[in-house]
Amino acid sequence: MKHLPLTIARNSLFSLLGQITVKALSVVFAIFVVRRLGDTGYGLYTTALAYVGMFAILSDLGLAPYMVREVAKDSERTPALFANAVLLRLMLSAGTLVVIVGSALALKRSPELVLGTALAACTLFIYAVEGPMESLFIARERLDFLSLMNVTQQMGFVVLGTMALVGGLGFVGLLVASLGSLMLATAIGWRLLQRTGGAPWRPQPRLWLTLLRAALPFGVIGFSLGLSYKVDTVLLQYFYGDAVTGWYNAAYNLIFLLMMVSHAVNLALYPALCRQHAADPKRMPALYTQALKYLFVIAIPIAVGTTVLAKPLIHLLYTDQFAPSVLPLQILIWVLPLMFLTELLGNVTIIHDQEKKVARALLVSTAVNVALNLVLIPRWGLLAASAVTVLTEMILAGQYLWLLRRELATVDFRAVFFKPGLAAGLMGVAVFLARGMNFFLVVPLGAAIYLGLLTLTGSVGRQEAVLLGDLVRRRAGSREVP
């Protein structure tokens, strides 16, 4: 584990560069999609995706994250997991498709929405193959291959989706484009898998029940996350219609685009920390401290800056038709630092083989989320959905901090939270005073002020420069993958 920090940094860099490419394409294309579909069409599109997202875990039942952890711990288990995971997920996907379409018909959703959910549900069959491949790449720390798949998928979606929208096929054409791009990425992933030694195809039906039982806590986690993140969209569409749903998701989707940094770091950390915990658990608190610090240093200035500049940002990205998205964005942006925190702490809890506690924590926060949304959305709509999202993440973060109170006992929370928070607060004041300037001048000005304050407070310094320099030198001198 001598080179663990550099391995994490390298994989974070590969994953981050790939995700930057993907998200840069996503941001530009998402703006085009919103403008082209308008609030009503975009509301239909996001509702179809959200409805499928609520049920998607039924096609997986936790097999994907379970597979990542087990293969990362012991690569010899690959033959027993890959083929069985693919076959199980294909069968589960067929049942999930029936549930999704059947429930949409039973709820008397519009024919357009039923068709959209059916098309979106077809992606589950593709993910049944792509998902286990991605799990192997993550476990084998080949995030460069995973990034290539993601970039290919997004580029294919942009090309096919643009053709569909320009051709007047609307949100249905966009869903068909998504299917095509997923098939392309899966084909490329299969070729890449052969370069990492492949995955022996050894189906063992007698193991299926055992695998499903072992993966069930992860399935509960996935179900809780899917329901928590999607139920607000479905309820908004039911009570307020497609346009309001479009306004909400125009703001909400910006948050998930910004999650790429957290996801990149945590994606790289997870398999490495699994092995580190098995080899030398005493080093774990120091690694947790660094990870928390870097994630918060990135998240808090984004939250502060977006709060101050939400109005010009929405005006720049979308049309005046989406002006009602400003206030939801100003509220929702504060879920970002909380999501950075909960993603890492959730992984840490799982690394300590406490996935059942993660599942319980997510069930509690999801129950609160669903209950509050059911009570508040019919009365207060957008504002209720936004506030409940932030409150739910706060409840989840509090539970994780309590569960990990012993593991995090030595973390210097002052260095992790206070100094970056102070720097971001002062930056926010400066940005607020300069908000009348051109948007493209205010953003770099705020970033420069924040970086300067971080340096003055000692939040970043020589350690980060040394780590980055070592990473660059190592990449230049060797292509070996540890």
DSSP per-residue letters across 198-258:
-------GGGHHHHHHHHHHHHHHHHHHHHHHHHHHHHHHHHH-HHHHHHHHHHHHHHHHH
pLDDT computed for residue 481 by the predictor? 32
Which tops the pLDDT comparison, 219 or 309?
309
| pLDDT score for 267 | 67
For residue 447, being part of any structural domain is answered with no
Domain count along the chain = 1
In the chain, pLDDT over 90 holds for what percent of residues? 23
pLDDT band at 431 (very low <50, low <70, confident <90, very high): very high
pLDDT of residue 390: 94
Least confident of 92-96, 245-249, 368-372, 476-480: 476-480
Is pLDDT at 77 greater than 70 in this prediction? Answer: no
- Residue 160, SS3? helix
Distance, CA of 5 to CA of 55 (rounded, Å): 37
Nearest CA to 297 among 340, 255, 359, 267? 340
**pTM for the model:** 0.71
Inside any domain, residue 145: yes
Q: Rounded to a whole number, what is the distance in angstroms from the first to the last CA of the chain? A: 10
Identify which has the larger pLDDT, 462 or 172.
172
Is residue 323, in this structure, part of any structural domain at all?
Answer: yes
- d(Cα 183, Cα 194) in Å, to the nearest integer? 17
Rg (CA), the chain: 22
Instruction: With respect to residue 473, please indicate whether it lies within any of the assigned structural domains.
Output: no
Q: pLDDT: is 131 or 391 the higher one?
A: 391
Q: Is residue 302 part of a domain?
A: yes
The CA-based angle 323-254-221, given to 5 degrees, is 130
Residue 361 lies in domain:
4-411
Residue 346 lies in a domain: yes
Looking at residue 478, the DSSP 8-state letter turns out to be -
Q: How confident is the model at residue 307 (pLDDT cuts 50, 70, 90)?
A: very high
CB 185 within 8 A of CB 123: no
Residue 80: per-residue pLDDT:
66
What pLDDT is recorded for position 480?
36
> Half-sphere exposure of 178 toward its Cβ, with a 13 Å CA cutoff?
23
Please, are residues 285 and 408 in contact by the beta-carbon 8 Å criterion?
yes
For residues 173 and 112, what is the distance between their CA atoms, to the nearest angstrom? 12
CB 156 within 8 A of CB 163: no
pLDDT at position 328 over 90: yes
**Interatomic CA distance for residues 133 and 139, integer angstroms:** 10
Higher-pLDDT residue of 458 and 310 is 310
What pLDDT was estimated at residue 436?
A: 83
Question: What is the per-residue pLDDT for 22?
Answer: 62
**Structure tokens given for 34:** 């919103």
Q: What's the pLDDT score for residue 356? A: 74
Whether residue 460 is contained in a domain is answered as no
Q: What is the mean pLDDT of residues 1-15?
A: 49
DSSP tag of 458: T
DSSP of 420-438, one letter per residue? HHHHHHHHHHHHHHTTTS-
pLDDT at 305 over 90: yes
Q: Please indicate whether residue 302 or residue 225 has the higher confidence score (pLDDT).
A: 302
256 domain-assigned = yes
CA atoms within 13 A on the CB side of 322: 33
Answer for the pair 439, 309: CB distance below 8 angstroms, yes or no: yes
Question: Residue 326's pLDDT is what?
Answer: 93
CA distance 207 to 358: 25
